[in-house]
Amino acid sequence: MERIYVKKSGPLNGTVKVSGAKNAALPILAATILGTTETILEGVPDLKDISIMIEVIKSLGVEVEHLGKHTLKINAKNLNAYETSYELMSKMRASSVVMGPLLARMRKVINPLPGGCNIGARPIDLHLKGFRALGVDIVEEPGKITASAEKLIGSTIYLDFPSVGATQNIMMAATMAEGETIIENAAMEPEIVDLASFLNKMGARIMGAGTSSIRIKGVKSLSGATHQIIPDRIEAGTFMVAAAMTGGDVLVENCIPSHMKPIIAKLIEAGAEVEVDDDSVRVKGNKIVNPFDIKTLPYPGFPTDMQAQFMALMTISNGTCVMKETVFENRFMHAAELAKMGANINVIDREAIVKGTRSLVGTEVEATDLRAGAALIIAGLVADGTTTISNIYHIDRGYENIEEKFTALGAIISRK
């Protein structure tokens, strides 16, 4: 089994270009199911999760052709199935977003319960609540859900929590529902806005994406469209933290700084210098990391997907930091791995108290989930000796060419 090896590398310096956003590309790939003509998607990251989603839609009769490493030509005119594969769906939780478009297009879906990172229950109850409000009949069986409707009827749906997946799924289902659908307490993430932008290019009528209230006026059919995936704000944030942690000077290109305001604010609080341009961010680290506290929240709050990386930064702060996780209930598994490296972390329920240490020590650690893996790489860059990371398939699910990008910045990192 492959591992990633990271050696103490000194300050990172140089320029890194961010890939397209995984969390935007996945629902947009699912949304191509809705179109009956050709779609061109540009800026699609070359990742394992993306490959799985492509296999999912291909298994339903969608034609997918690679026009280049990051460009896809997709045509769903011959969509001919509504049951998804357990083998594929069990590999990734985000695969459940095919339910909405399948209901809109086929009026039926049989879906195994999804898999993915073990960071909490992440039930799809809110997805199902939204579907029921649109007139969908749902039968739940062990490990499987069957949803069907003679027709979808617009409704007002209040989400108990601003779930990204539920917002995306309901929005896609509602594109071809009769009348108007209103999603209240909707997720406001940039990935929601990107999906709505793509759907509107296909002929949907969606207003309010990016706010807590989204209105969808149903249409009879949707066509294909050409669309550029937004840059990955979490990948950008990961390299920004790496620059701060190593005391480096890194220019992060192809990003949207307005999507990363909480990340930028916390890096400045930690003592880093941050320069913002239209489509880039430059981070200069300081020799001393000031202590800081974080509470994860739905967008526009601090992103839970950056929690692990910032905890790595906390481990070398000049004081005590507090990390509060409010989005997922099981997302501190990396704390035990960082502790193996000499970090002083005390976890109590959803709060981690991190006392900064003078130095970390390289050892054998495990990527317990996608973002935990990124945090361990960052920690390994400043740890004495060599850090050996196993279970790196998690990292490959969300970071494209991660070793090459870090190596170009001066990191000593390899895979074998």
Asked whether residue 123 is marked as a ligand-binding residue, the answer is: yes
Asked whether residue 305 is marked as a ligand-binding residue, the answer is: yes
> ω before 300 within 30° of 0 (cis)?
yes
Asked whether residue 278 is marked as a ligand-binding residue, the answer is: no
Q: What is the DSSP letter of 361?
A: B
User: Residue 124: which residues within 8 A CB-CB, separation 6 or more?
Assistant: 96, 113, 114, 145, 165, 166
Which long-range CB contacts under 8 A does 201-206 form with residues at least 24 apart?
201/225, 201/226, 201/227, 202/31, 202/34, 202/35, 202/39, 204/175, 206/171, 206/175
Q: Is 117 a catalytic residue?
A: yes
Query: Nearest CA to 48 among 315, 373, 310?
Result: 373
Q: What is the DSSP letter of 278?
A: S
Cα distances (Å, whole numbers) of residue 164 to 45, 270, 318: 20, 29, 35
Asked whether residue 93 is marked as a ligand-binding residue, the answer is: yes
Q: In what order do the strands lie in the sheet with 13-17?
A: 13-17, 249-253, 280-284, 273-276
Query: Nearest CA to 74 among 66, 89, 82, 63?
Result: 63
User: Residue 416: which residues within 8 A CB-CB, separation 6 or more?
Assistant: 2, 3, 5
Query: Nearest CA to 331 among 356, 361, 310?
Result: 310
Active-site residue, selected from the candidate residues 31, 34, 92, 117:
117
Asked whether residue 182 is marked as a ligand-binding residue, the answer is: no
Asked whether residue 108 is marked as a ligand-binding residue, the answer is: no
The token duo for 399 is 């970071």
- Annotated binding site for phosphoenolpyruvate: which residue ranges? 22-23
Active site residues: 117
- Annotated binding site for UDP-N-acetyl-alpha-D-glucosamine: which residue ranges? 93, 122-126, 305, 327
- Annotated binding site: which residue ranges? 22-23, 93, 122-126, 305, 327
